[in-house]
Structure 1
Amino acid sequence: MAQAFSGRPVTHHEDEERPHRRKVYFWAAVGALGGFLFGYDTGVVSGALLFIKHDFHLGAFEQGLVVSILLLTAMAGALIAGRTADRVGRRPLLIGVAVVFTLGLLAASLAPNYVTLLVARAVLGLGVGGASAIVPVYLSEIAPARIRGALVSANQLLITIGIVVSYVVDLVFAGTENWRAMFAVGIVVSALMLIGLFFVPETPVWLQRNGREDQARRVLCEVVPADRVDGVLRSYRTSGDQGGGKVSWRRLLRSSARPALVIGLALAAFQQFAGINTIIYYAPTIMEDTGLNASNSIVYSVIIGSINVVMTLVAMPLTDKAGRRRLLIISLTGMTISLIPLGLTFTKLHGSGASTIALVCILVYIASFAIGLGPVFWLLNSEIYPPSVRGEAASLATMVNWLSNFIVGQAFLPVAAAIGQGPTFWIFAVIALLALLFVIKFVPETKGRSFEEIDRALQRRL
């Protein structure tokens, strides 16, 4: 990567950069709408399903499929997106994602029957998977190094905001049982994203790597002081393998990208197997099991989602100040510690005291996740790979993340029924501890570093 663009720390004054950064902020805001739609489309179904099941007379299996089919097609969307983005560019792929979101939401809001709704959810899964793989890459490749962490973390912030907004929309339309309107609201954002993408450029990294140096120079001239453009382009030429072409996953694992890919795949799995979506999906049920009244599940979801948003906001500037590695260590420590007493509330503790402890533990767990493992995984997954395989590698790690999400979601209730919820949360605690040890041993700091510096640090550790 480069000075001023995802590379070495800049040395000129902040007032020189500020006018150029305004355009970067606009481009990032448009791209990050994909993160909002990711969050909205995964969250909106929780409230909509309360009424869909009556309108379409759905059984338990059919309801579960409405939710899980998005996770399954998101895996496919992530894999398709990475290879496509490396071949045709980040911007065309994002335009395709916005179109997919729009069509999926329109089909869901107009679905005349269960099968059509299922197809619509499958289409939305492709959009969610594509956005989760490519939005962070796009943000990383347009971002100056000094604010790269904050801009890429904006994707995670918009995901959490999208989830909370979906819950609020569910709450607004719950009184009229209008689940179609719940889906239709998302079309407004997907249309804004689609329109906005016609006013943003391709990333200069992709343009330069694909022989379009004049176009890359024009993009850089809009956001970098003129006397720095040549230096940025020179750094792109030395930032890893510039070769194009199709890269198989087996070859990817055998290439110089292997250390980065090991970290990306491991963090992708750890993020889900540490139990985050289990806590989010089943928080009302968890609280009810400890004796606390959880009759209004949507309200509980809004509260927990709001904590997620607030702590993600806290994390955004810290990624470029405290650093990625330090935030991961703090995050995983807090998650591990909070899961241990949470398990105790189901085994040793009872009554109102247990409910209070469980609520505190859940909030500490969510806050710990949101300040580190939540945003930092997506940030690292967008900046540690060689530019020539970045889309492909990021999409592979994203697919592993979605697969892990699906496995944990399907396994939680059966495992909890077999061994109890307390021991199940202790399993999550052990996984979080293993993730902490992995980060301490293998994950280097990437704050303000060029790709060459990141790669040297990776090669030393793995």
Structure 2
Amino acid sequence: MTHGFATAPVTHGPELGELPLHSKRRLVLWTFCAALGGWLFGYDTGVVSGAMLFIRRDFHLNSFMQGAVVSVLLLSAAVTAPLAGRVADRIGRRKALLLVAAIFVVGLVVAAVAPDVGTLLAARFILGFGVGGASALVPVYLSEMAPTKVRGTMVSTNQLMVTIGLLSSYIVDLLLSGSANWRGMFAFGLVGAVLMLAGMAVAPETPAWLERHGQDGPARSVIARYTPPDQVDSVIRGYGGAREEKGAALSIKEMFTSPAVRPALLIGLALAALQQFCGINTIMYYAPTIMQKTGLNASNALIYSIIIGAINLVVTLIAMRLTDTAGRRRLLIVSLSLMMLATVPMGLAFTALSGTASSVTALLSTLGYIMAFAVGLGPVFWLLNSEIYPPRARAEAASLATMVNWLSNFVVSQAFLPLSNALGQGPTFWVFGVICVLALAYVIARVPETKNRTFQQIDAEIRGMRHQDTRAGQRA
């Protein structure tokens, strides 16, 4: 199977280096303001790990209630993600992100002043609305704002900000742990929420949304703020006839039955589930325990989290550049191959090795797995999920895949301990390795390359893959 357009000229929009300084500054500012949603996503999912050390003492929480405080955000995010797309299609991406920022402000304020565990649960539920909305909409906003040649870098900024948010939460937790100030841990997130609220108030609507809703003048005006005048028409054409798709939003049933949407949606849903079922969040959760097994001097688990967060951040920075040079598909193949290989010694460390050999093998294989994820499957899923869908269904389809991602996260997190108790820790990591192999096979067979391609070209290739499958089935 070919993944076409290898020789198609790309004449739609400049590279970042070709832009005047003032245009670069605008794109950087808009990217930063929207990507603060990614920072809040990372911060609010990570901060609770350190805060829980003191929350459980102040509110006298048993293990069930501790789990509830953590997991209620995951469930709320999963519920919110598909709704976010419908809201963004109705009122626009910018206004939807303004609403997300406001939700973060409310949730963080309530969490910081919570007098009891019931109020804290409500705050975490509210924050889940923000996390679900941000995870679904920030990549879509950045994808629709970005010049095609730097779309990978711009959209991957969201994943970079997620990792910075996680690392920030670990550092804030560590700094405030001496005073047991868990309220301050939550309150610090208000810095990002307020900045996002202010930034999105002045950021523009995406030209793709404006074009689809018949606002050609405003769409051209936004494009002209970061594109040379002679390339504006080319950029408009690159949206792939979004105007022709104007109409009522598609229902979930219609997205699954529409020949124009279903092929891309199935790819998005499959990658959303596979990203989580490869085991990244359980391995991230277990990493401090593995590190402690190596006999490192640090005694505080928060320090281990900071080490992991820093490595994740550095590799994500590398991945940002590679998405627009090496390509999305190649990064996925390399990432999944390395993740699969890392699970082999990871399992051996708990089954066949002992002593120092076991500790060092566990540490190195865990770090290798996390780096492999961060260079490919981590950022590339979110990038593809923002660019493979037709304009009419982009926000809603991306949101549906985001919901599947959050639900898969919840399922894997809940299943990890029972599975490791039943099979043993080593064989459980090998199960993740088998899933990596299945994911690799799926990527090779079904996922197209989207580097340097307009939305129109991406849509044409995915539809072409469907027609090839149809003809093959008829010949069989």
Same-fold status (TM-score > 0.5)? yes
> d(CA) in 1 for partners of 2:337 and 2:15?
36
Of the three residues 264, 269, 273, the one matched with 1:269 is 273
Task: Supply the AA of the counterpart residue of 1:131.
Answer: A
Aligned residue runs from structure 1 range 342-421, under 5 A: 342-421=346-425
Aligned residue runs from structure 1 range 17-96, under 5 A: 17-19=19-21, 20-96=23-99
> d(CA) in 2 for partners of 1:435 and 1:235?
30
> d(CA) in 2 for partners of 1:341 and 1:145?
40
**Retained in 2: the 8 A contact 1:241–1:388?**
no
Moved more, 281-290 or 164-173: 281-290
The Cα of 1:458 is off from its aligned counterpart by: 1.4
**Retained in 1: the 8 A contact 2:75–2:410?**
yes
Residues 12/290 of structure 1: CA separation in 2 closer, same or farther (3 Å cut): closer
Moved more, 276-285 or 313-322: 276-285
Residues 51/11 of structure 1: CA separation in 2 closer, same or farther (3 Å cut): closer
Task: Supply the AA of the counterpart residue of 1:331.
Answer: S
The Cα of 1:320 is off from its aligned counterpart by: 0.2
> d(CA) in 2 for partners of 1:291 and 1:423?
23
Q: Partner residue of 1:445?
A: 449
Q: Partner residue of 1:4?
A: none
> d(CA) in 2 for partners of 1:144 and 1:385?
17
The Cα of 1:416 is off from its aligned counterpart by: 0.5
> d(CA) in 2 for partners of 1:14 and 1:237?
22
Moved more, 210-219 or 395-404: 210-219
Residues 277/310 of structure 1: CA separation in 2 closer, same or farther (3 Å cut): same
The Cα of 1:282 is off from its aligned counterpart by: 1.9
**Retained in 2: the 8 A contact 1:70–1:125?**
yes
Q: Partner residue of 1:154?
A: 157
Residues 210/174 of structure 1: CA separation in 2 closer, same or farther (3 Å cut): same
The Cα of 1:439 is off from its aligned counterpart by: 0.6
> d(CA) in 2 for partners of 1:96 and 1:448?
32
Structure 1 residue matching 2:263: 3-state secondary structure: helix
Q: Partner residue of 1:196?
A: 199
The Cα of 1:14 is off from its aligned counterpart by: 6.4
**Retained in 1: the 8 A contact 2:176–2:182?**
yes
**Retained in 1: the 8 A contact 2:72–2:128?**
yes
Q: Partner residue of 1:3?
A: none
The Cα of 1:388 is off from its aligned counterpart by: 0.8
Aligned residue runs from structure 1 range 202-241, under 5 A: 202-236=205-239, 238-239=241-242
Residues 362/241 of structure 1: CA separation in 2 closer, same or farther (3 Å cut): farther
| Count of residues in correspondence between the two structures | 456
Residues 16/315 of structure 1: CA separation in 2 closer, same or farther (3 Å cut): closer
| Residue ranges of structure 2 left out of the alignment (5+ in a row) | 1-8, 467-476
Structure 2 residue matching 1:446: 3-state secondary structure: coil
Q: Deviations over 1:215-254 (max 9, x none)?
A: 1121112111112223333443625852231311111011
**Retained in 1: the 8 A contact 2:38–2:159?**
yes
Q: Deviations over 1:304-361 (max 9, x none)?
A: 1111000000000110000000100110011000011101111111111110010000
The Cα of 1:460 is off from its aligned counterpart by: 3.1
The list of structure 1 runs, each at least 4 consecutive aligned residues, that deviate by more than 3 angstroms after superposition, is: 7-16, 234-237, 286-295
Residues 295/18 of structure 1: CA separation in 2 closer, same or farther (3 Å cut): same
Structure 2 residue matching 1:345: 3-state secondary structure: helix
**Retained in 1: the 8 A contact 2:336–2:373?**
yes
Residues 131/13 of structure 1: CA separation in 2 closer, same or farther (3 Å cut): closer
1:454 is aligned to 2:458: yes
**Retained in 1: the 8 A contact 2:12–2:234?**
no
Moved more, 399-408 or 217-226: 217-226
The Cα of 1:427 is off from its aligned counterpart by: 0.4
Q: Deviations over 1:387-414 (max 9, x none)?
A: 1110000000000000000000011011
Residues 317/25 of structure 1: CA separation in 2 closer, same or farther (3 Å cut): same
**Retained in 2: the 8 A contact 1:239–1:452?**
no
Give TM-score, length-normalised by structure 1.
0.96
Q: Partner residue of 2:250?
A: 247
**Retained in 2: the 8 A contact 1:240–1:451?**
no
**Retained in 1: the 8 A contact 2:294–2:363?**
no
**Retained in 2: the 8 A contact 1:311–1:367?**
yes
The Cα of 1:292 is off from its aligned counterpart by: 6.5
Moved more, 210-219 or 363-372: 210-219
1:314 is aligned to 2:312: no
The Cα of 1:11 is off from its aligned counterpart by: 7.3
Q: Partner residue of 1:281?
A: 285
> d(CA) in 2 for partners of 1:459 and 1:276?
31
Residues 456/85 of structure 1: CA separation in 2 closer, same or farther (3 Å cut): same
Q: Partner residue of 2:3?
A: none
> d(CA) in 1 for partners of 2:309 and 2:394?
31
The Cα of 1:42 is off from its aligned counterpart by: 0.1
> d(CA) in 2 for partners of 1:351 and 1:295?
19
Q: Percent identity?
A: 58
Q: Deviations over 1:76-130 (max 9, x none)?
A: 1211111110111000000000000011001000000000000000000010000
Q: Partner residue of 1:182?
A: 185
Task: Supply the AA of the counterpart residue of 1:17.
Answer: L
Moved more, 134-143 or 230-239: 230-239
Residues 276/18 of structure 1: CA separation in 2 closer, same or farther (3 Å cut): farther
Give TM-score, length-normalised by structure 2.
0.93
Residues 10/414 of structure 1: CA separation in 2 closer, same or farther (3 Å cut): same
Moved more, 154-163 or 245-254: 245-254
**Retained in 1: the 8 A contact 2:211–2:243?**
no
Moved more, 346-355 or 286-295: 286-295
> d(CA) in 2 for partners of 1:357 and 1:303?
17
